[in-house]
Amino acid sequence: MIIILVTIPQFLKLFETFKTIDELNQKKAFYQQKGKELEAINAEAFRKDLDTALIALPVEKDIPGVMGELLVALGGSGMNLDGITFSNSPVESEKTQEYTITIDASGEQSSLRNFLERVTVAPRLVKLNSIEVSSGTGQTITAAITFVTFYQLLPKTIGSVDDKLPTVTKVDTQILSDIAEKIRSFPKVNDQSSQSTIGKLDPFRP
């Protein structure tokens, strides 16, 4: 009887030890697999993809950057800039932030359409919020075009070593490819020709 009383706790402790060893082996296998995945990452390609994503969604307001893109689009559309206003900055958090930019411009209706088409191919993530149009002299119109642009602060925490590595899906890859194409095709802010050339974004469109 005494032997049984002594042996049972030892067996129970042994089972707990086996369970702990099994958990440690699982963690070891997880870390080894994670290490292989990290070694397989192309650091140069990853850095390039990160730079591309940050152009579309930067970690700060980057007002000069988004204004440069909007003004390049405006300068090549035939519209004339009359004024610019900004909204108040929202309360900062780790979620996506936004602020509005209102561009007051004048020109022909076709030029306004051309401007909006040009904005759609800008790399920066912006959303058309509203348009207020009023008639001017002759065929001229005046418009107040309000855009919402976004940015996201860097996270304050980077996760745990026990978390799985995030994966880049085919959808993510396609989005990055689309952004990269916009970056290549969109006129640079310091491109003097973009400010003097007036015409349609698509020359084959009637």
pLDDT of amino acid 131: 95
pLDDT of amino acid 192: 40
- Which two structure tokens, joined as six digits, stand for 35? 């290490």
For the chain, 206 residues long, give each residue's pLDDT as a single digit of tens: 555 555 656 656 767 787 888 888 888 888 888 888 888 888 899 899 999 999 999 988 899 999 999 999 998 899 999 999 988 665 555 678 889 999 999 999 999 999 999 999 999 999 999 999 998 778 899 999 999 999 988 777 777 888 888 888 899 999 999 999 999 888 765 544 334 334 444 333 44
In one-letter notation, the amino acid at residue 200 is K
- Which two structure tokens, joined as six digits, stand for 177? 């490819």
pLDDT of amino acid 8: 59
Helix (H) or strand (E) holding 83: strand 80-86
pLDDT of amino acid 158: 75
pLDDT of amino acid 69: 92
pTM for this one? 0.70
pLDDT of amino acid 82: 94
End-to-end CA distance of the chain: 100
Cα–Cα distance measured from residue 122 to residue 128, given in angstroms and rounded to the nearest whole number = 13
pLDDT of amino acid 197: 38
Helix (H) or strand (E) holding 135: strand 126-135
Helix, strand, or coil here: 35?
helix
